[in-house]
Amino acid sequence: MDAGPQLGELIHDGERRRDAVHIAIVPVTAVERLKPGQHVGLVQEGNVELVGPCQHNIGIVDPYLMNEIEPGQRFWLCLYPGTVTSLRHVWTHPVFTAAHVAIMEKLR
C-alpha cells in the first residue's frame, strides 16, 4: 500500500504527483506569544488546553495564520504527521487520551 507524502521529510526521489493529506487538529489556548508554524506542546500536566514551547512538542501552531498569537488567544494546533494513533473523523493521540482518562478518574 502506498504511504503517500511524508510531511516533515525532504523528497529524495523524482516524485512529481500531487496529493492531499489529512492533518489532525485540536483547538488550544496559547500561554505565551506564539508564531505561526512554531513547534509547541502541552505545558501543564493533565491540561490538554494550554500550549507553548516545551521539551515534548506535539505539533505546530496553525501555519496559515497571518499574525502572531497573543497569550490567552485560541487557535488550531496541527499535530505532527504520523503521531495520531487512530483516525475516523474523530482522532486519538496518546497525550490527549491519557489526560482524558485522568480527568474521568478524578470525576469518580
Per-residue model confidence as pLDDT tens digits over 6-34: 777 888 888 888 877 888 999 999 999 99
Write down the pLDDT at residue 21: 81
Mean pLDDT for the stretch of residues 80-107: 75
Q: Where are the domains of the chain?
A: 25-107
Of 41-50, 58-67, 85-94, least confident by mean pLDDT is 85-94
Q: Any alpha helices (H) in the chain, and if so which ranges?
A: 94-107
Cα separation, 36 vs 2, in Å, equals 31
pLDDT at position 74 over 90: yes
Q: What is the pLDDT of residue 7?
A: 79
If one compares 68 and 1, the residue with the highest pLDDT of the two is 68
